[in-house]
Structure 1
Amino acid sequence: MVSYISSITSKTVPRLTSKITLPVVKSYLPNYLLWGGAWVFGVGTFTEGWPLFQETFYKNIPVFGKHWDPVLDPEDFPN
């Protein structure tokens, strides 16, 4: 025989903010730094050849910005 449920049953979900504490954030911090660094590296890798990103971001990096300045030989300049 089939048994039917006569009313809807539900569970209450505990609040998310009660679970976020400083020790919990500290325990996840290395993961956030690792994945955030990987994300930044990936964005930098895939946008390195785009002229808009070169002009806006990469040429303004203090030490490595000269890498994106074009170096042309004198014989390549038109007279």
Structure 2
Amino acid sequence: MVSYVRGPSYKSVKAFNKISALRAYSPFLAVWGAAAGIAVLTFGEHVPLIRNTFLRHIPVVGDHYVYNPDPEDIPV
């Protein structure tokens, strides 16, 4: 037969506070934050503010983002 409980059964959770929850989710938040930052820089590559502020200052590939047109292409 089924044994019924007279009242609610309460259980305490030992490690359920803000610090342990943050510690548990921090690897996921770091990975998703890095992916979001890379996506913003990738899709905002043609925006002059992003290009001049962030992308030009990358040590190895920063010269790729410097705008240096030919003199023939500049209107007089």
TM-score bracket for the superposition, by shorter chain length: 0.5 to 0.7
SS at match of 2:51: helix
Q: Give unpaired runs (5+ residues) of structure 1.
A: 1-17
Q: What percentage of residue pairs aligned between the two structures are identical?
A: 33
Match of 1:28 in 2: 25
Q: Compare relative contact order (CA 8 Å, sep 6+) and give the higher one, 1 or 2.
A: 2
User: How high is the TM-score relative to the length of structure 1?
Assistant: 0.57
Pairwise CA RMSD: 2.1
Name the TM-score, length of structure 2 as normaliser. 0.58
Give the aligned length.
Answer: 57
Give per-residue Cα distances to partners, 1:17-48, cap 9 Å, x unaligned: x7212x33221111101110121012112210
Match in the other structure for 2:47? 50
The runs of 4+ residues in structure 1 deviating greater than 4 Å are none
